[in-house]
Structures are given as C-alpha cells and as structure tokens.
Amino acid sequence: MTQILRLTTASALALSLAAAGPLTPLAQTVAPPPQAMQDVVINMRGADIKDVAEQVSRITGRTLVLDPQVQGQVNVVSAEPLSRNGVWDLFLSVLRTSGYAAVRSGNVWRIVPQASVVQSGSSETGAAQSNQQIVTRLVRLRNLPSDQAVRALRPLVSSFGAIEALTEPNAVVVTDYAENIARVQQLAATLDRGGGSTFDSILLRHASAVDVAASVSQLLGSDAGGPRVTADERSNVLLVRGDAADIAQARSIVAALDTPGGAGPVVRVVRLRNSDAESITEIVRGLLGGEPAANNPVARSLRSDTGLASLSASNRDAAALAVNAISTPSEGGGSLPQPGTGGPAARPAGFTLDGVTVQASPELNAVVMRGPPAMVEMLETLISQLDLRRAQVKIEVAIVEITGELGERIGVQLGLGGAVPEEGVIGGTSFNNAGSDIATVLSVLGFPAGRLLSSGLSVAAGSEGDFGALLQAVGTNAYANLLSSPSVTVLDNEPAEIVVGQNVPFRTGSFATDGNSTNPFTTISREDVGLTLRVVPRVHEGETVRLEVSQEVSSLVTTSVTGAADLITNRRSLQTSVLADDGETIVLGGLVTDDRQSGTSRVPGLGSLPLIGGAFRSRNDSQTRRTLFIFLKPTILRDSAAVAASAQESYDRLRFAEPVRIDPSRPPALETQQRLPPGVDEVF
C-alpha cells in the first residue's frame, strides 16, 4: 500500500496518512514546510515508529535522535485536526504507550527506552511544555521528614521514574512525566501541612517540664495520632506540635499543673570550666542579696530524697558527691568547720533566698543549686555567663643600668734599694690609691722587702743602694651595662610576684646570756637581696592593660664602709600604675645619678713642699654616672593557641642562647645534635 498525502484548504490544512503496509520513505513525499502548516489530521495504522518520528520532526521543526533500541509499529488515529503542539503531544503519548520517552538535551530530543531515562541524566528541570514530557522536580518540605515523604509518594511514581530523599535541605527529588509529578507535588503539599498542625512552646514557672510532658502525652494520646509533646529540661519549656485544638487543650492542662507548690524543687550541679566555685557562689549571693547561712542549710536540703530524685542520671552521682563533700564528717571524727568559723578546712557559706539554696563544692569546682525550676534555670544561665575563660597576661620587664667611671689617677711612687734583691729596699714612698702600690709591684718582681713597705714613707738601713723611681699615671674609662629581663605570666586581675636573688642574713641586735659581754648572743634576720617584681594586670576592653607595678633591685656593697656595723645594700625601687596596649613597650621610669670624688694622699711635711712636694703625694679624682631605666611590655594571652605560641617563643630564645660544642678535629661547624629538642612540647 502506498502512502496517501491529502491536503485540504478549508479552515485548516489537514494531512491524512494511511498505511496498510510499510510506509515509503518520507523523502519521496512532498510535505509543506512547518511554518506553512496550521492543522494536521494524522491517521496511521501499522506505521514504523522511526517513520512516524521523521514525519513529526518535519511537522514540529524539532530535531529528533533515535536510540538504536527504538523500533516497532504504532497505530495513531486523529479524529480532529491538530496543531504543531498537538502533534508533539500526540507523539509523546505514542512513545509513552510504546515504552519510550523523549528526553531533551539542549536543542535536541533523544528518543530512548523509558528504563534509560533516569540514567541519561537529561530530564528537563524547567517548566514542562507538555504533560507527557519527562522532567525532574525538587519538592521542598517544611514539616514532614523527607524519608517519610518518599515512602508515601513512591507508589505514584512510574516504574521507570525515580524519587530520592534529601536531608539538607529537607526535600525530595522526583523524575517522571510532568503530569505525574504534578500529582506527586499536590500530595506532598498535603502531607507537609500535616492537616493544619502548628508548633508552640509553653514556659513552666513552677512545675517540672519533664513531669508535665509525661502527663500531657498520656492525657492527649500522642501515640495514637494526637499532638507530639516533648520537654526541654534546660529551659523548663514544654514543646507541643499539633492542630490548634490540641495546642489549646495542652495549654489548659499545663495551666492546671503549673501551680506554686505543684512540683518539687529541682537540683542542678553546674560544673565550672574556668572560674572558681567559691567566687561564683559569692557573686550570686551578692547579686541576689542573700546572707551567708551560719548552719549551712544547703547541705540539709540537698540530702532530701526528693532533691536527688529530681536530678537527671548524669548529675545524680555528682550531686551525691557534692552533698557528701558539704556535710559529711571528716575522717578524724569531727565534722567539717562551718562557714564563718575559721580553720584551715573552712567551707564557703551557702545561702537561701526565695526558696533557692546555693552551695559551692570546692572538690568538684561546681555550684550546687536547689529550688524552683524557673529560678534554678535563671541562676544556671547567670553562672554560665560568669564562667568565662579569663585572659592571661605575659609581662616582660627589662631593667637597664649603664655605669660610667671616668678617673684619672696620677701618682709618683719612689723606691731606693740595693742592686741585689737580697739587700732589699731601704726607703721609698707608697700610695695604695694610685693603682698598684710600689710594695705590691716589688713583691711581684721578687723583692722580699717590698712586702714590708707600708703606705706612706718607709726608711730602712742598708748597704749600697740604688735609687729607683716608679711613676704611674693611670687613666681609666670604664662602662658597665647591667641588663635584667624578668618575665611572668599571670591571670587577669590576679597578683604575681617573681624574686631572683639571695636571702642574706642581717644582724638585728645582740645581748649577753650569762652576764659575760665578751661573747654576746647575736640575732639576725634574713632579707631578699636581688630582683623583686610584683604586678597586678587588669585587662580592659579595646586590648588595653592597666598594670600596678612594684619593682625593686637591690645588691650588696662589696667595699666596706667605715663605721658600718653590718652589710650595706644598694636599693633601687619603683612603684607605679600604668596603662598600656597589648604588645606595647613603655618606660616605667628612669634614674640618673652623678657621683664625683676627689682624694689626695701625701707624706706629712714632704708632700707639702714646693716643687718637690709632688714626688711625695698622690691625687685621685673620679666621676661615676649611673643611668637606670625600666621598660615593660604586656602581652594578652586570650586562648590556648596564644599561650602555646608564647611558650614556644621563650623556648626559642633559650635554644638560641644554648652553647654548642665544636669538634676540634674538624673545621668549625655547629653540631647537628642539640641538647634541647626543637619544640617546647617535646621537653616533657
């Protein structure tokens, strides 16, 4: 049977295709261009699907690519004329009936078996042009979990389609025909509304949320499709989910149960991470205006069965230990001292206010509270805000002292003696303030008599003598730098002290024990001599630090002072309060002293003679200038990373100053093996 092509020009152009056998190639037919066609009437019986696809491509202007698996014959009957879009919808229906589908990939439509639609990954994600088109949709859910939605929606999806659950966001992804996905979206929206269910929270002021939640669930039957009820123990809030009637009914039940005295007190044990339990308890007591209890009523209240029974399993053991620490007698047979009674084992006092009792447990570093849930919750929130990690401050101090001595020592020392050393020196002048005196020089050179000379003029008899003269003029210019750099790390608002020096004994008095004054009993006291640094840092907002500094440098005087009964110390101290930025170096203070001394030694009579008197005297002029400056640098350490970095920095300085050995048999080179490991964490 040959193909019949019939064109009509009434209200529309109709194309009728009838085939009793295989269709002839369309290339032999004359079909009008797509833009000239308006309506088409299609009648096909036993037509090859490939030929039908070719004709549809010409009519609709779409590019079609057929999968090699696409084959078979189709029957299509169109009673009314169809537009180009109508022809395309009809073709998609034919493909769906035959087990095939059209998948769009850009401007090309691929005809593939339905089983390959999902694997092709080319389903349309935008707006569908036809209900028979394969599309993929993301259906977002607000209330219904996605996994539950998948179980409810899977029966609506075609056998070749796919539906998957997503947790983030809470949604399902569906791939199917557009008309099928529309039904899936409609059902998903109905399920997600939950029949008009809403969410509400109810704050309880007197009763326990855990107990009330159990009662409400039992009365409203949450297990049988009723509202869902749960309790937040931390905030003492009841959470209800259901319709408006269920929530209203739950509120009425809660109002009846949440009455003063309707529920027993709760007990909480708040473990502290950074703060001190005694300090936190004292702050809470001062804030609430409570007075310390002389007989510690907290321990008695905590020992009640109802108090411990209201604790969660995680806190019950800790509460029992805290109660025992507060009120259990000590091993020595006596009870622990009550607060305010003193003694080394004195405990901080608890307090009671508005039915709330609070007690510190130093052994656990925890605060134990017992009272109404709302009040206990408020105190727990307050304690969590106070229990913050305090910053630490590393304080580095540099104490620099520069001493300069400018002196001129001019002196003439004469010696007269024999040529033979054994005959010794018979006369001479010696002054010990002019550098090395002649007696010391002669003794070093091997003259035994030199040791017999004293300061001044010495004359001795001897045989043949020689005249020796020693002229000494000494000029000195010496500078000494003293640098001390103590450092200390301390918590914010805590005092710190570092002492580097010696504990030196000083005589404070003497008295006779047996009436004999020749051997009196001497009393002494020991004092620290060296470097002492005391500082209290206070960290402010804006990375600034207020420092209260007290610094002292003391040393023993090496030379003896005439008339001094005991040791003499040099003392330099400074006490001040300063404000510095984090990491800023500031000068705390400075001291400049200028000491000038002039002295003359002479032989009585001879040293005053004109012209020759200079040979019998010595003059010593000196000038000493000392300059002392104190530098300070605070560094704020707010976290463990900053503390570790500071420790590593100090350790690196230590390793840099570590002496290294050099192998004498090799060229000078540092040894590869250091005595100290490279990291401070490897020391321990």
How much is the pLDDT for 38? 62
What CA–CA distance (Å, rounded) separates 361 from 336? Answer: 13
DSSP state of 259: -
Q: DSSP strand E in 217-296: where?
A: 228-232, 237-242, 266-271
Mean pLDDT of the chain: 69
- Residues 117-121, mean pLDDT to the nearest whole number: 63
State phi, psi for 41 to the nearest 5 degrees.
Answer: -110, 120
Cα three-residue angle 614-616-619, rounded to 5 degrees: 65
- Looking at residue 144, what is its pLDDT? 78
Indicate if the pLDDT at residue 411 is higher than 60: no
Q: What residue type is 560 in one-letter code?
A: S
Residue 12 to residues 8, 43, 77, 80, 476: CA-CA distances in angstroms?
7, 16, 18, 11, 127
Can you read off the two tokens belonging to residue 552?
A: 């002292």
Average pLDDT over residues 403-418: 47
For residue 37, the model assigns a pLDDT of: 53
Least reliable range by pLDDT among 356-360, 374-378, 386-390, 580-584: 374-378
Class of domain 265-296+348-388: alpha beta
Alpha-carbon span 363 to 68, nearest angstrom: 81
Query: In this structure, are strands 108-113 and 63-66 parallel, antiparallel, or unpaired?
Result: parallel
State the CB neighbour count (10 A cutoff) for residue 66. Answer: 16
pLDDT digits (tens, 9 = 90+) for 554-596: 888 776 555 555 677 878 788 889 999 998 888 887 777 777 7
3-state helix, strand, coil in the chain (%, to 5): 30, 35, 35
**SS3 readout for 80-109:** CCECHHHHHHHHHHHHHHCCEEEEEECCEE
C-alpha Rg value of the chain to the nearest Å: 52
In the chain, % of residues over pLDDT 70:
61
Higher pLDDT, 105 or 533: 533
Which whole number is the average pLDDT over 221-237? 73
| End-to-end CA gap in the chain | 99
Say whether pLDDT at 462 is over 70. Answer: no
CB under 8 Å to 401, separation ≥6 — which residues?
481, 482, 483, 553, 626, 627, 628
Q: Residue 334 half-sphere exposure, CB side, CA atoms within 13 Å?
A: 6
Please determine, for residue 220, whether its predicted confidence score (pLDDT) is greater than 70.
yes
Assess contact for 466 and 474: CB atoms under 8 A: no
**Higher pLDDT, residue 373 or 346:** 373
Of 315-329, 558-572, 668-682, which gets the smallest average pLDDT? 315-329
Asked whether residue 273 carries a pLDDT value surpassing 70, the answer given is: yes
Show me where the domains of the chain are located. Answer: 38-117, 198-258, 265-296+348-388, 405-479, 481-509+521-597+617-657
pLDDT in tens, 596-624: 777 777 778 777 778 777 777 777 777 77
Contacts of 276 by beta carbon, 8 Å cutoff, 6+ apart: 365
Greater model confidence, 658 or 495: 495
Q: Which CATH number fits domain 38-117: 1.20.1250.20, 3.30.460.10, 3.30.1370.120, 2.40.10.10?
A: 3.30.1370.120
Most confident region among 247-256, 548-557, 673-682 by mean pLDDT: 247-256
Question: Which residue is listed with tokens 């100290």?
Answer: 676
pLDDT of residue 24 exceeding 50: no
Q: Is the pLDDT of residue 364 over 80?
A: yes
pLDDT, average across residues 462-490: 51
Max mean pLDDT range (94-103, 380-389, 615-624): 380-389
C-alpha angle 89/90/92, rounded to 5°? 65
Q: Are strands 366-371 and 356-361 parallel, antiparallel or unpaired?
A: antiparallel
The phi, psi pair for 148, rounded to 5°, reads -70, -35
In which band, very low, low, confident or very high, does the pLDDT at 118 lie, cut at 50, 70 and 90? low
Q: Is the pTM of this model over 0.85?
A: no
Report the 10 Å Cβ neighbour count for 416.
Answer: 18
What is the per-residue pLDDT for 352?
76
CA distance 590 to 482: 14
The pair of structure tokens assigned to 448 is: 């035994």
Q: What is the pLDDT of residue 155?
A: 80
Residue 34 has pLDDT above 70, yes or no: no
**What was the pLDDT predicted at 35?**
47
169: preceding bond cis by omega (within 30 degrees): yes
Q: What is the pLDDT of residues 192-218, one digit of tens each?
A: 766 556 778 888 887 778 888 888 888
- Are the CB atoms for 425 and 453 separated by under 8 Å? yes
Same topology for domains 38-117 and 198-258, yes or no? Answer: yes
| Predicted confidence (pLDDT) per residue in 38-74, tens digit | 677 777 777 888 888 888 888 888 888 887 888 877 7
495: pLDDT confidence band, cut at 50, 70 and 90?
very high
* CATH 3.30.1370.120 applies to domain 198-258: yes
Residue 161 exposed, middle or buried by CB count within 10 Å (0-12, 13-18, 19+) = buried
Question: Is the pLDDT at 307 greater than 70, yes or no?
Answer: no
Measured on CA atoms in the order 199, 205, 210, 216, is the torsion positive or negative?
negative
Residue 625 and residue 403 in contact, taking contact as beta carbons nearer than 8 Å = yes
